[in-house]
Amino acid sequence: MRTFRFTPRRVAAAIGLGTLVVLVGFGRRPDAQPGPGIAAPTPAPVDFNTEIRPLLGRACLSCHGPDSAARQAGLRLDLASSATSTLESGRRAIVPGDPDAGALLGRVTASNPARRMPPPKTGLALTDAEIDRLRRWIAEGAAYDPHWAFVPPGRPTPPTVIGAAHPIDAFIRARLAEEGLAPSPEADRETLIRRVTLDLTGLPPTVEEVDAYLADVEPGAYERVVDRLLASPRYGERWASLWLDLARYADTKGYEADRRRTMWPYRDWVIRAFNDDMPFDRFTVEQIAGDLLPDPTTAQLVATAFHRNTMTNDEGGTDDEEFRVAAVIDRTNTTMQAWMGLSMGCAQCHTHKYDPITHDEYYSFYDFFNQSEDSDQMDDRPLQAAPTPEQTIALRDARATLDDAYRRLDDTIAAGPTTATDFGDARFRPRDEARDLLWIDDDVPAGATTDAPGGVDAWTWVGEDDGPVRSGARAIRLAAPGREVTQVYFNHARRHLDIDAGTRLFAHVHLDPEDPPAAIMLQWYSIQQGWSHRAYWGENAIDLGGVDGGPTRRRIGDLPPTGRWVRLEIDPADVGLTDLSVNGWAFTQAGGTVTWDAAGLTTTAPDDAPYVHDLDAWIARVNEGRWPDVPDDLRVAAAAGLPRTDAQRRALHRHFALMVSVDDLGPVLPLAESVRAAEARIASIETSVPMLPIMRERPEPDRRATHVHQRGNYRDPGARVTADVPAALSAFRPEWPRDRLGLASWLTSRDNPLTARVFVNRIWEAMFGIGLVETAEDFGVQGTPPSHPRLLDWLATDFMDHDWRVKALCRRIVTSATYQQSSDVRDGDLEHDAYNRLLARGPRFRLPAEMVRDQALAAAGLLAPTMYGPPVFPPQPDGVWMVVYSDDHWATDVDADRFRRGVYTFWRRTSPYPSMTTFDAPSREFCVSRRLRTNTPLQALVLLNDPVYIEAAGGLALRMLDGSDLDDDARIACGVRRCVARAPSEAETAMLVDLLSDARQALAAAPDQAGALLREARVDVPPDDATTVERASWVVVANVLLNLDEMLVKR
Amino acid sequence: MTKHDGLSRMQDVTRRHFLTQCRVGIGGIALASMLGRDLPALGDVPDATRTFAGPHFAPRAKRVIYLHMAGSPPQQDLFDYKPRLNELNGRPCPDSLLENERFAFIKGHPTILGSPYSFARHGRSGGWVSELMPRLADVVDELVFVRSMYTDQFNHAPAQLFLYTGSPRLGRPSMGSWLLYGLGSENRDLPGFVVLVSGAKTPSAGKSVWGSGFLPSVFQGCQCRASGDPVLYVSDPDGLSRDLRRRGLDTLRDLNARRAAETGDPETLDRIAQYELAFRMQMSVPEVMDIGREPQHVLDLYGATPGGSSFANNCLLARRLAEQDVRFIQLFDWGWDTHGTNPSDDIITQLPRKCRETDQPIAALILDLKQRGLLDDTLVVWSGEFGRTAMNEKRNGSVYLGRDHHPHCFTIWMAGGGVRAGTVYGATDDLGYRIVENPVHVHDLQATILHLLGLDHEQLTYRFQGRRFRLTDVHGNVVHDLMA
């Protein structure tokens, strides 16, 4: 038998290679043809990529590799040309076919420590087995095969294996047969639906879904479940979590201050992209270079926030350039890591010691990202408005309403004069007869602001009942003791009084004969000169500015007679108002009681356009520079003269109707109001639209010159480089632009050896717990070779052939018999294949952090289905956030938001949500390819005591108590099924019933405790002790169910 | 197969798995993590040292208590006596101090700032200590001062990260995580790496300074808190008695064991063990964190107050944790960033306040460790993340006295576990501005601390993203002259 044995010696050897697959691949080419499972009489030839390259990488290349700065003796062992040519010493390291002729074997076996390689102090000594392998490889000709991952995947034909119609099964079973292992039987249906529901949606199946599947005896039942799950909106939420680790998505900026920033529209974009089954190549292009696409949509701009998830440093005194450079380096590394599974970080400071990426090539790649506008600014500019779909709809509706209002306005205007105010361009109809145009009567003009916050109603008014009224329903009444000065005023009236030659100002006044004032004053506010126009009667007793005797304070005459209404009239020239526009008025007195009413202008303007003028008069004033706040385009239109274009006419009409003549326009008025309402609605939506950082390219003249950072120090620039990709990878085609868009084309090109392999490996890892390439983060020379290289290539090419559709890939995997196997560990399984790399059994591993949370809430019936939007704040202990330099704090949500899926939980980089971290979620400061799984007592404490899980226990207890006619056994069965999708055995039920009765007994003795527990679980405390104890006892049982190992594990 | 048979078979497998790791040491842990396998948890291993690499050579100390003064104290006002500074006080600083320099806040041509505090020699060793640290002066013979520390970083967050992770950027494991990864924990019931924070703020660099970076999260620091649960979620919910919790865990254990027997998954047995450890931690953590159990004279020695939250309390807790063989005990105290923009961050009001808060408890900690025989194998380190300038910062013309960030030199001290007590290492120039003798880089300090714990900083590595990482990056030299 050539079965693999898990012996310490081989483990020790494997440690050096950092891989178990090397263990199973020892002495054998990968994916050898299925054999009878009997050892061949002679060993298979040594495979360079799986058996020699990792050995050289571990022990030799740091001094004899690509990095010329570190190279010793001029020897490169990663290149055949160097390894086999004559060295500085005059010898050759390797003479192919003759192990003892070259220097290499002598050095690795030398007994003299000074000559021994690797030097003993490095602790990298080769084992006897490794030395033997080197010897055989040289004897067999020392063939240097290129690193597998840098060669584009071929299209292997699945081996023919009886009973394995699915290509995945064919590859897996062929290998199992070779190892003499048998696959496991199919998992039972309850296990299977739980497994596939968790994998595809991140949530457990409901009891109803399990029942439906159990009842579906027609062929294709499983596939129907799979298709239902792939169509579920929960699918996108599940897979987004995987991508967001790579995107280092978080809701804060990182570094010391770690302030909040709006990134969640990007998170929602990712969820939607998965749910819409956006092809992965498109997914790539939009995130890397959405801004460079022709006429990018808002969604495509939002996608570029992928690379704005880099950290921003707000700490005082930091050098923005230093952290801009850090962000660009992060983008460089993240792009290589997320798409190509390569770590370029080493090459930041020096040429990569293992992978063929030179120091210069690193900065050529860096140049792709060095041309964006962002530069570690506090406000994270450039920003993009990213309305949610709801906001987009609301905005579209509001804009349609506005358009409609404008159209009706335009139609009304076009239909002809709606009042005597003529909207025509040249139909001004002057009248000779002067008339009083009332400006102030019962109210102030529209748009005016008064001296008091309460507006005009804060003034004292008298009506017919309690005082003299000259006109309308009321008059202004002011009283002041002694000679004290008092006044009311307003300004900013939207429509102005235009003071032309021949006009006169007037007001009506009534002085109380019992309490006459010492003086009264009228004052006007002109747009041009402000409040510097005063006219007074009586003594010069009001000193509110101005020079007595001039237009700024002109005495008109004595006080008028008391006890009756008197009309005051002023020549505007006396107060310097000729050819000015008035938009404010003040009534002032020194002592006494005075009533004012009916003030305005005597003019020759038409009586039915009473106060100002028509359109032409307004246009004339605009052209004379006597009208403030006119947009430039309107000034141009006004100055254009006749004939105007339709657009100019319409713009002038609209502005006049909306902004100038606010009333007395008959049917125009309500239309103008609906325009204003629509504009206000748009403004209010727009202020709530999130603004998120995006990528934007600097214009060509501002391109940054990229230099190599010598020893990784950006202040020490070396040679100038321009955008390019490492030569060892696929070629950059000449037709691609040398920018991020070209880079995206390169990443998604069919020639790219890595992108598809790396992504299918991620999906495989999420499903099976370990990738086909175990080091998902390193497909380079130092990474582990794939356990099933031909299967990996088949999946990668199948993925590309199917338009990079992720759902099709998921469906491929979950419909394989390999995926559907039972995960129970059989006798011998652990000895043969402890880590299940060969997949003789189904996947079995602890759920990721988000699923641990979501599953508990789902089982408890608490999970809130709301999707998308700003991040939420489920319960978190006080004091976890200790934020420097700000008062920001965690405000726990009180509504259903506390029960949202984990993907929506607020992610603070310097203080991630505790239970997430405890279950191995990263901080999201940097791109992370793989979460290591740990098993710690802190996890037990979370599940036992975190208020989230106590609340879940409360929810689950209430679910179990639903239905009045059930006995304890049935209630327990309900709870177990909600948690683990299967019914409990009799023995399990008996154990839980025992616990229930012990809990009842214990809590009956302490009903206060029972009440306290219910409050912790946020379950209503009933008035009677018996019910309280009963409910609390079920909370105890629910708490145990939610902690079942079976629940934490996908199996 | 009976339940018992199944269980014992799997325990067997688990044990073999465990023994395999013993043989391969650190690499085995690395392998296990690369394989995505669950790892032995904090203290879950009866003899943790066998599971891990164990020391590379005989250790001088078994544990570390690291006292970090976040914000960075001014060396000129505490331990690095510079009479020349006082002579030049108020004069424009020499141009040479400004060449090729950039400062966080200083603008224009600053003036020299002498120390307002008097210095004296103390103890048999005659170590210089300013009047701000009178109690510490009494134990000066236990300390070795390093006056020639320097760093590459001049802002808080990067400098703190650099000191604790060897890199100014986020993402690397912290010193305590490396130690746990290399040595394991010696306490079955407590986390092996405990962090205590005072001054109401976490350090600038956040929790990353005790994070495990790319190492498995079992190795990260566990922050024990003064208020609320000392360890998150260590308390049972109200209304759930200890007995009822135990009763529930019994059922949980039995249910899990049944499933383990049916499915053959050894991880289920691991999980059972973790729940049992969690149950023990629920007792042991609150117990060790309860300083109310200390006699009054000990509380008085430290100036600690049960129920409160202070650096003094944390010093006493550090001793209690050291007694329990916690491997790395990290204290952070906020408030040392004395720029002099107002009285709450100057060297006249704020600095003496911080010294008053810390002087007595630190001296008490040294004395208390010593009298209990713990100082011999406990390494105590006191430091900030960088030094402070010889010049008055005078930001925006401030009238308060303070110093800007200064990476070129600062003073730290160490005590206990294997250090050459009662000595001074390194020296700075007359103005305390640049090192003139025996510079010690942050990476050298890290290498030295690892060395004292029996670890070779060049061999304590972890492979991540295709590269072998270590605490000291590709640098660091052990400073043997600091050792007894």
| ipTM of this predicted structure | 0.73
A940: confidence class by pLDDT, cuts 50, 70, 90: very high
The confidence score (pLDDT) of residue A46 equals 85
pLDDT digits (tens, 9 = 90+) for B390-444: 999 988 788 899 999 999 999 999 999 999 999 999 999 999 999 999 999 999 9
Identity of the residue in A925, A932, A1043 whose CB atom sits nearest the CB atom of B170? A925
The confidence score (pLDDT) of residue B466 equals 57
- Cβ–Cβ of B35/A770 closer than 8 Å? yes
Chain A residues close to B31, C-beta within 8 Å: 11, 14-15, 18, 20
B140: confidence class by pLDDT, cuts 50, 70, 90: very high
* Neighbouring C-alpha atoms within 13 Å toward the C-beta of A710: 7
CA dihedral A909, A912, A918, A923 (to 10 degrees): -20
Chain B residues close to A147, C-beta within 8 Å: none
Of A230-234, A413-417, A803-807, the one with minimum mean pLDDT is A413-417
**pLDDT value at B316 more than 70:** yes
Distance CA B60, CA B448 (A): 11
**pLDDT value at A701 more than 50:** yes
Q: Do the beta carbons of residue A574 and residue A554 sit within 8 Å?
A: yes
Question: CA of B416, closest CA in chain A: separation in Å?
Answer: 30
| A contact residues 820-849, partner B, Cβ 8 Å cutoff | 823-827, 829-830, 834-835, 844-846
Q: Do the beta carbons of residue A817 and residue A167 sit within 8 Å?
A: no
The confidence score (pLDDT) of residue A81 equals 83
A828: confidence class by pLDDT, cuts 50, 70, 90: confident
Percent of chain A exceeding pLDDT 70 equals: 90
The confidence score (pLDDT) of residue A793 equals 97
Q: Do the beta carbons of residue B359 and residue B67 sit within 8 Å?
A: no
Average pLDDT over residues A874-885: 78
Average pLDDT over residues A752-758: 97
The confidence score (pLDDT) of residue B54 equals 65
**pLDDT value at B31 more than 50:** no
Distance of CA B229 to the CA centre of its chain: 21
CA dihedral B87, B89, B90, B95 (to 10 degrees): 80
**pLDDT value at B243 more than 90:** yes
Greatest mean pLDDT among A924-928, B35-39, B239-243 lies in B239-243
Average pLDDT over residues B372-382: 97
**pLDDT value at A963 more than 80:** no
Beta bridge partners of A693: A383
A27: confidence class by pLDDT, cuts 50, 70, 90: very low
Of A137-146, A248-257, A651-660, the one with minimum mean pLDDT is A651-660
pLDDT digits (tens, 9 = 90+) for B93-135: 998 888 877 777 787 889 999 999 999 999 999 999 999 999 9
Residue type, A181: L
The confidence score (pLDDT) of residue B467 equals 66
Beta bridge partners of B223: B195
The alpha helices in B334-478, defined as continuous H runs, are: 350-371, 442-452
B308: confidence class by pLDDT, cuts 50, 70, 90: confident
Distance CA A6, CA A907 (A): 41
Average pLDDT over residues B75-97: 94
Of A275-289, A683-697, B132-146, the one with minimum mean pLDDT is A683-697
**pLDDT value at A782 more than 90:** no
More confident residue, A112 or B28: A112
Question: CA of A942, closest CA in chain B: separation in Å?
Answer: 6
Residue B142 contacts by C-beta under 8 Å, 6 or more apart in sequence? B366, B370, B375, B415, B416, B421, B422
Q: Do the beta carbons of residue B78 and residue B469 sit within 8 Å?
A: no
Q: Do the beta carbons of residue B240 and residue A1040 sit within 8 Å?
A: no
More confident residue, A432 or A708: A708
The confidence score (pLDDT) of residue A445 equals 84
A663: confidence class by pLDDT, cuts 50, 70, 90: very low
Of A627-636, A992-1001, A1004-1013, the one with minimum mean pLDDT is A627-636
Percent of chain B exceeding pLDDT 90 equals: 60
Distance CA A997, CA A1011 (A): 17
Beta bridge partners of A537: A520, A557
**pLDDT value at A33 more than 80:** no
- Cβ–Cβ of B169/A992 closer than 8 Å? no
- Cβ–Cβ of A345/B465 closer than 8 Å? yes
Distance CA B268, CA B255 (A): 11
Distance of CA A860 to the CA centre of its chain: 29
The confidence score (pLDDT) of residue A53 equals 83
B8: confidence class by pLDDT, cuts 50, 70, 90: very low
The confidence score (pLDDT) of residue A661 equals 56
The confidence score (pLDDT) of residue A882 equals 66
The confidence score (pLDDT) of residue A42 equals 57
The confidence score (pLDDT) of residue A11 equals 31
Q: Do the beta carbons of residue A747 and residue A288 sit within 8 Å?
A: yes
Percent of chain A exceeding pLDDT 90 equals: 55
**pLDDT value at B465 more than 60:** no
Greatest mean pLDDT among A25-39, A229-243, B260-274 lies in A229-243
Chain A residues close to B268, C-beta within 8 Å: 1045, 1049
**pLDDT value at B274 more than 60:** yes
The confidence score (pLDDT) of residue B398 equals 84
| B contact residues 184-203, partner A, Cβ 8 Å cutoff | 197, 200-202
Average pLDDT over residues A170-175: 96
Which chain B residue is nearest to residue A1015, measuring alpha carbons? Answer: B238
Residue A1023, chain B, CB below 8 Å: the answer is: no
The b-or-e profile of B325-343 (16+ CB within 10 A means b, else e) is: bbbbbbbbbbbbbbbbbee
**3-class DSSP assignment, residue A953:** helix
Q: What is the mean pLDDT of chain B?
A: 85
**pLDDT value at A423 more than 50:** no
Q: What pTM did the predictor assign?
A: 0.72
Kindly list the structural domains of chain B, giving each domain's residue range(s) and its CATH number in brackets, ordered by start: 40-236+293-482 (3.40.720.10)
**pLDDT value at B48 more than 50:** no
pLDDT digits (tens, 9 = 90+) for A461-518: 999 888 889 888 899 999 999 899 999 999 888 777 878 777 889 999 999 999 999 9
Identity of the residue in B245, B251, B268 whose CB atom sits nearest the CB atom of A991? B251
Chain A residues close to B264, C-beta within 8 Å: 824-827, 829-830
The confidence score (pLDDT) of residue B408 equals 94
- Cβ–Cβ of A991/B255 closer than 8 Å? yes
Distance CA A538, CA A545 (A): 17
Q: Which of A6, A9, A11, A15 is the best substitution to test chain B (most B C-beta atoms within 10 A)? A: A15
Average pLDDT over residues B234-242: 94
The confidence score (pLDDT) of residue B480 equals 96
Greatest mean pLDDT among A141-150, A435-444, A1013-1022, B211-220 lies in A1013-1022
Residue A859: C-alpha distances to residues A767, A863, A949, A980, A990 (Å): 22, 8, 11, 9, 21
Q: What is the mean pLDDT of chain A?
A: 86
